[in-house]
Amino acid sequence: MIIANEKQQKLLLEVGTLDLAIGRAQTNLTEAEHSDSVESIRKQLLETSEALLQAHANQENLQSDINKIASDVELVEARIQRDLEKAKQVSSEREQKAVNQELESLKIRLSNLEDSELELMEALELAKVEVVKITQQRTQLNLELESELAKQNGQTLTLSAQLTELSEKRERAFTQLDEELQKLYNRKASRGIAVAQTLGRDCSACRLSINAVNFESMMAEPADHLPTCPNCDAMIIR
């Protein structure tokens, strides 16, 4: 039979209650440190970072295609210029015809190149708009992340302060316990909840009902006796 006077029993209950509160505070702190919204924003930032790389690459490819076409246009224009000069100088009708045919096909080639250039320039405008859009999205996400982190940091600080306060209180109560009760408490706490109370005939630690006979004899014991729950072995403070 465990013997503990009223003051020691009160201290046991206090330590037990504080340990439960410390456990809850620790869970809350862990949750605050792993905020879902922060994770979600970080994920979106990663995704938009890939999208931005792709949009930049797309823009660069279009620009290099346009540069290539522009230099083709220059070449074709130079050849047209040369053929026009040549057309003035040729003497035979056969040569004249050949130059005219070449000029004809060069003009078609030039027109095709200019069409392609125009299409590419329109695509480039869209690509630039896409880059700006993603950049703005990322700016917005970064702002959200900053604000979420500040919120998270605030919560974490508050919870850490609570945890420190609870732990100090717990230590103050625990050191006032008799050494035997300290050892007993630690042994029981390592296996589960060390201290319980009764809720009707239920044990507050395991939530199981204590049978009527056990309950009656438990209640009939002297005040400085400390019964234990027949189900979970927690010390029951009556």
User: Is 231 one of the binding residues for Zn ion (CB under 5 A)?
Assistant: yes
Q: According to CB under 5 A, which one of 195, 229, 235, 237 is a site residue for Zn ion?
A: 229
Using the minimum distance from each CB to Zn ion, give the nearer residue, 87 or 206.
Answer: 206
Using the minimum distance from each CB to Zn ion, give the nearer residue, 4 or 205.
Answer: 205
Rounded to a whole number of angstroms, the minimum distance from the CB of residue 35 to Zn ion is 35
Cα–Cα separations (whole angstroms), residue 85 to 39, 72, 88, 149: 69, 20, 5, 72
User: Is 210 one of the binding residues for Zn ion (CB under 5 A)?
Assistant: no
Using the minimum distance from each CB to Zn ion, give the nearer residue, 127 or 194.
Answer: 194
Using the minimum distance from each CB to Zn ion, give the nearer residue, 73 or 189.
Answer: 189
Task: State CA 171 to chain mean position distance.
Answer: 36
Rounded to a whole number of angstroms, the minimum distance from the CB of residue 192 to Zn ion is 9
Using the minimum distance from each CB to Zn ion, give the nearer residue, 159 or 234.
Answer: 234
| Residue from 192, 215, 185 nearest 202 by CA | 215
Rounded to a whole number of angstroms, the minimum distance from the CB of residue 6 to Zn ion is 22
Rounded to a whole number of angstroms, the minimum distance from the CB of residue 165 to Zn ion is 29
Angle separating helix axes 93-175 and 6-33, nearest 10 degrees? 170
Q: Which residue has the tokens 């003497």?
A: 91
Q: According to CB under 5 A, which one of 205, 218, 226, 237 is a site residue for Zn ion?
A: 205
Contacts of 5 (CB under 8 A, 6+ apart): 224
User: Is 12 one of the binding residues for Zn ion (CB under 5 A)?
Assistant: no
Contacts of 142 (CB under 8 A, 6+ apart): 45
Name the segment binding Zn ion (CB under 5 A); options: 13-21, 71-79, 121-129, 225-233: 225-233
Q: Which residue has the tokens 């306060």?
A: 165
Q: What gap in Å lies between CA 22 and CA 231, rounded to an integer? A: 24
Length of the chain: 238
Q: According to CB under 5 A, which one of 62, 232, 235, 237 is a site residue for Zn ion?
A: 232
Using the minimum distance from each CB to Zn ion, give the nearer residue, 90 or 206.
Answer: 206
Contacts of 44 (CB under 8 A, 6+ apart): 141
Size of the site for Zn ion (CB under 5 A): 7
User: Is 206 one of the binding residues for Zn ion (CB under 5 A)?
Assistant: yes
Q: What gap in Å lies between CA 195 and CA 186, rounded to an integer? A: 11
185-204 residues in contact with Zn ion (CB under 5 A) are: 203
Using the minimum distance from each CB to Zn ion, give the nearer residue, 66 or 226.
Answer: 226
SS3 sequence of 198-216: EECCEECCCCCECCHHHHH
As given in the structure block, the two tokens for residue 234 are 């927690």
Residues that bind Zn ion in the complex, under the rule CB under 5 A? 203, 205-206, 229, 231-232, 234
